[in-house]
Amino acid sequence: MVEVHLWSGLRSLTGGQQVVEVQAKTTGELLRELVRAHPQLQAPIDAGVSIAIDGRVIATGLTEPIPEGSEIYLMQRLRGG
């Protein structure tokens, strides 16, 4: 199991939880499992999210490995100028 830290604006979609536990070995699994556990997370995920694994921000890849015990933050997808 990995703990996924959400940004606090998402609490309204997860019944107040800001940290969600899911079973996932890759970024793709993580997103799938998040939506399975909390279907309302589909909208923010569709709008674009990045996943920070131990501080490294993964913007798109679904196959990035998630090591056991790593620190996972879901972030809004970044845009730039």
Partner 1 sequence: MALDDRKSEFTFVGTRPDRPDGLDKVTGRAKFGADVSAPGMLHGAILRSPHAHARIVKIDASKAEAHKDVKAVVTRADFSDKVPFQPGLEGEFWNVLENVMAGEKALYDGHAVAAIAATSALAARDALKLIEVEYEVLPHVTDVDKAMASDAPVIREGAADYSVPEGMHPNVVRYHESGHGNVDAGFAEADLVIEDSFVTEATHQGYIEPHACLGMLGNDGKGELWCTTQGHWIAQKTCAALLGIETSQLRVTASEIGGGFGGKTTVFIEPVALALSRKANRPVKLVMSRSEVFRATGPTSSASMDIKIGMKKDGTISAAQGVFRLQGGAFPGAPGDMTAMCAFAPYNLTNVKQIGYDVMANRPKQAAYRAPGAPMGAFAVESVIDELCKKLGLDPVDVRLKNAAHEGTQASYGPTYERIGLVETLEAAKAHPHYSAPLKPGQGRGISCGFWFNHGGETSVSLALSEDGSAQLMVGTPDIGGSRASMALMAAEVLGIPYENIRVTIADTASLGYNDVSHGSRVTYASGLATIKAARHAVERLCGRAAAKWGIPVDAVKWEDGCAVPSGPNAGDFDPMPLADITADMGATGGPISGHFEATPEGAGVSFGTHIVDAEVDPETGKTSVTRYTVIQDAGKAIHPTYVEGQYQGGAAQGIGWALNEEYVYGEDGRLQNSIFLDYRIPVASDLPMIDTVIVEVPNPGHPFGVRGVGETGIVPPLAAIANAVSHAAGVRMRQLPMSPPRILAALKDNG
Residue 49 binds partner 1, judged by CB under 8 A: no
- Closer to partner 1 by Cβ: residue 48 or 67: 48
DSSP conformation letters of 2-33: EEEEPPGGGGGGTTT-SEEEE--SBHHHHHHH
Among 23, 43, 65, 67, binds partner 1 (CB under 8 A): 43
Amino acid sitting at position 62: L
DSSP category for residue 65? B
Residue closer to partner 1 by CB (options 37, 52) is 52
C-beta closer to partner 1: residue 23 or 76: 76
